[in-house]
Amino acid sequence: MKDVDVAHTRNFALIGHAGDGKTSVGESILHRVGAGGALGRVDDGSSHLNTLPEEKDGHTATVTSHLYSFDWSDHHVTLVDTPGDPNFQGDGQVCLQALDGAILVVSAVDGVKVGTEKMHRAAGKSGVAILIYVNGLDRERADFEAAVASLSTLEGPKPVVLAIPVGEHASLSGVIDLVRQKQIAADGSESDIPAELADEVASRRLELIEAVAECDDALLEKYLDDGELSEEEVITGLVKGTRSRQLAPILCGSATSEIGTEPLLRAVRDLLPSPADRGTWAQAGDGEAVAPDPAGPFSGVIFKTQIDRYAGTLSIIRVVSGTIHSDSHALNASTGEKVRVGKLLLLLGEKHEDVPEAGPGDVVAVAKLKDAHTGNVLAGEKSDIHLVEPTLPRGVLSYAIQAKSQGDEDKVYTALGRLVEEDPTLQLGRDASTGEFLLTGMGELHIRTTVQKMRRMFEVEVELKTPKVPYRETITRSVQGVEGKLKKQTGGKGMFGVCYLDVEPKPRGEGVEFVDQIVGGKIPRGLIPAVEKGIYESCEAGPLAGFPVVDIRIKCVDGKYHSVDSNEMAFKLAASFGFKAAVEQARPTLLEPVMTAEISVPDESVGDIMGDISSRRGRVQTSENRGNATVIVAQIPMAEMLEYASALTSLTGGKGEFHMEFSHYDEVPAAVREKIIAGAKAAAEAQG
């Protein structure tokens, strides 16, 4: 890494829809700057960025973000190639929060697609400056004008054309830089503009100048007075407009042919902000914003964790302020724990390079950083800086997971723990009510790719199943004086215990309550705990389908005992018998978990989504417009949401997204209740 100042540091992400050529754009950039050797290609597996077997074998989609740092034109640059498939885009969304810029790659054939919109929106939330690259202009059906027109559907910075293609499809030979008014070939050589394109260049350049002038009052006044802006003035306006997110410059070409790569690289250097241009970073609470000063106190954010076969677990850090040195110490401000920083590693795809230090804007990895996770923020050992932590996406689809072979359980959950640590969009947890271990991710492909990766890296096999719904049972009316009795005589010392119970329903969510109302020694004080234990154990399996009983108050109001034959076991069993009889008399019913779902869909899909929510026994709470989307908040039974991710994709053409969380338990309708009970009884009989 060159010893460059903050003003000459750049970092950016390649974002967009899957298959539009983000990785190929990255490969063309790396080849142009002389990094990595030969031009890497996705199709033949020679990519310097797609390095995982899951990315090379069987399909070419990027499944996790990959980093490559390089030095070029007196600048130090970090490129982050992010996934475009919605199953893996969450990883890229986290990365964006730690970077200063992004290149939105758009297909010249299909224009803006679902993944384009999602990652453009994520870039907006992260406040990063954007360049747009229309890729694949040498392909059949490529249409530069249509692709540019499709960008008008995106909210945010105004798209403005900075380069136009020379030729089309197989005859694509270069691009024209509208600022410098030069034709640029694939090898970077420059020539004059072809005469037949002079009128189009003049028209496009006028549009560019007008857009630039609108970003700066002084330039606007100059343009209105003179009717023209100089090349330097256009660049000044472009820099201001891009870095303030008023403009999104559009470049174009073909990454696989390296056409348009040179102007794109220049735009990264000249238009995207340095860490100093990006400005201060907010602190949690009321802390003063942190300036990207290399001489200030150190602070940084861990925006990715990577399992490396040689170095172990790597924590990838964006340095925000100060300077971090190898073999030093820091504070994990998220946990309050001090950590030792070993070697600092510059990431070059699969390779690493040791560096002695890193400053603002630099991205480095540290191996085996103790108890450090994606989203944690770091500070100097004696610093009180606590940066705002990145927002981590929440998974939307869960599978119950278990080891395929007995005895592999520990190995499976250790392996899953490592993978969850690497991928913050995965969550692993145990449902206390069903006993199942649940693996939650962004979609079915995400979960299955994780299982494939676990098989490759840790040599363990697992089975995936649809998770069980944690139903509950309760009562709907009060019953008094129900007898629970155990009387057993076997010739010797017998078993005798009698208790009388009142039961009544409690408000939803208040659980189980035992009340001792014995007076006069009807049951000795020493045996009351046995009654209570018998009742609580009986609550673990209700009479309808064996689900736990909740929201009930049980009062022990009377009883009988025998001085010789009464003991703890007798009263525990008597209480159990009485409880079961009382619940059966109190009109038991089934409860189901209800989720609050926030569903964001295109306006044209609202009618279909509303109808689908109704078919799932859901109730819409609110509906509001946010930009080009409608956000619907609804309460829907969990049982109806287990496979909702694929249904939403089908209904919206992949443009919808949702999040959900538990809301409350509610009574199951009679028709549905009978099916659940029948299914539970059949399962119990099958188990013997």
Number of H helices, E strands in the chain: 17, 34
Token pair 């009263």 is at which residue? 571
Closest C-alpha among 24, 17, 14 to residue 254: 24
Run of H or E including 560: strand 552-560
Residues 143, 151: Cα–Cα separation, whole Å: 13
**3-state SS string for 665-677:** EEECCHHHHHHHH
Length of the chain: 688
Q: Output the CA torsion sign for 152, 156, 160, 163.
A: negative
Q: Give, for 114, the enclosing helix (H) or strand (E).
A: helix 114-126
Asked, colleague to colleague, whether 6-199+235-278 and 397-465 share their fold, the answer is: no
* Partners of 81 in beta bridges: 14, 66
For residue 392, what pLDDT is reported? 92
Of the pLDDT bands very low, low, confident and very high (cuts 50, 70, 90), residue 113 is: confident
The percent of residues in the chain predicted with pLDDT above 70, rounded, is: 98
Token reading at 7: 């003003």
pLDDT, tens digit, 9 for 90 and up, residues 332-369: 999 999 999 999 999 999 899 999 999 999 999 999 99
For residue 365, what are the contacts with CB-CB under 8 A and spacing of at least 6?
306, 311, 314, 315, 316, 317, 344, 345, 346, 347, 352
Token pair listed for 88:
């893996």
594 exposed, middle or buried (CB, 10 Å; 0-12, 13-18, 19+)? buried
For a pLDDT cut of 90, what percent of the chain falls above it? 76
Query: Mean pLDDT for the chain?
Result: 92
Question: For residue 370, which of 342, 395, 396 has the smallest C-alpha distance?
Answer: 342
Give helix 114-126 / helix 89-96 axis angle, nearest 10°: 30
d(CA 643, CA 472): 21
What pTM value is reported for the model?
0.82
C-beta separation of 28 from 21 below 8 A: no
> Can you name the CATH fold of 473-586?
Ribosomal Protein S5; domain 2 (3.30.230)
pLDDT digits (tens, 9 = 90+) for 190-234: 999 999 999 999 999 999 999 999 999 999 999 898 888 999 999
User: CB–CB of 193/215 below 8 Å?
Assistant: no
Cα dihedral 676, 678, 680, 683 in deg (nearest 10): -140
* Three-state secondary structure call for residue 78: strand
* Position 677 pLDDT exceeds 60: yes
339 - beta bridge partners? Answer: 330
Domain boundaries, the chain: 6-199+235-278, 299-343+365-380, 397-465, 473-586, 592-672
> Does the pLDDT of residue 435 top 90, yes or no?
no
Mean local confidence (pLDDT), 374-390: 95
Mean pLDDT within 21-50? 92
CB atoms within 10 A of CB 195: 7
* 231 class by beta-carbon count within 10 Å (0-12 exposed, 13-18 middle, 19+ buried): exposed
Listed residue (155, 177, 152) closest to 166, CA to CA:
177
The predicted pLDDT at position 307 comes to 86
> What was the pLDDT predicted at 87?
85
Name which of 312, 362, 308, 373 is nearest 339 in CA terms: 373
Helix or strand (DSSP H, E) at 646: helix 644-652
pLDDT average, residue stretch 51-56: 82
Running DSSP on this structure, what letter comes out for residue 507?
-
Confidence bin at 433 (pLDDT 50/70/90):
confident
| Confidence tier at 623 by pLDDT (50, 70, 90) | very high
The DSSP call for residue 416 is H
**154: Cα separation from own chain's centroid:** 22
Mean pLDDT of 578-600: 95
Give the tokens for residue 198. Answer: 């002079």
Residue 407 has pLDDT above 80, yes or no: yes
Give me the phi and psi of 198, to 5 degrees please.
-60, -45
Lowest mean pLDDT among 155-169, 342-356, 669-683: 669-683
Quote the strand ranges of 21-88, DSSP E. Answer: 66-72, 75-81
Q: List, in sequence order, every beta strand (DSSP E) within 422-511.
A: 427-430, 437-441, 462-465, 472-475, 479-488, 495-505
Judge whether 365 and 414 are in contact, CB under 8 Å. no
**Residue tagged 């199943």 (tokens):** 465
467, 642 Cβ separation under 8 angstroms: yes
CATH architecture, domain defined by 592-672: 2-Layer Sandwich (3.30)
pLDDT of residue 98: 98
CATH number of 397-465: 3.30.70.870
The domain 299-343+365-380 having CATH identifier 2.40.30.10: the answer here is yes
- DSSP state letter for 538: H
Q: What is the pLDDT of residues 504-557, one digit of tens each?
A: 999 998 999 999 999 988 999 999 999 999 999 999 999 999 999 999 999 999
Q: Does 561 or 45 have the greater pLDDT score?
A: 561
Q: Is the pLDDT of residue 91 over 80?
A: yes
Cβ contacts of residue 351 below 8 Å, gap of 6+? none
Structure tokens belonging to residue 127: 């406040």
Q: With 60 as the cut, is the pLDDT of residue 616 above it? A: yes
Q: 6-199+235-278 architecture in CATH?
A: 3-Layer(aba) Sandwich (3.40)
Tokens representing residue 346 in the block: 């510059």
Please give the Cα distance from 40 to 392 (Å, whole number).
31
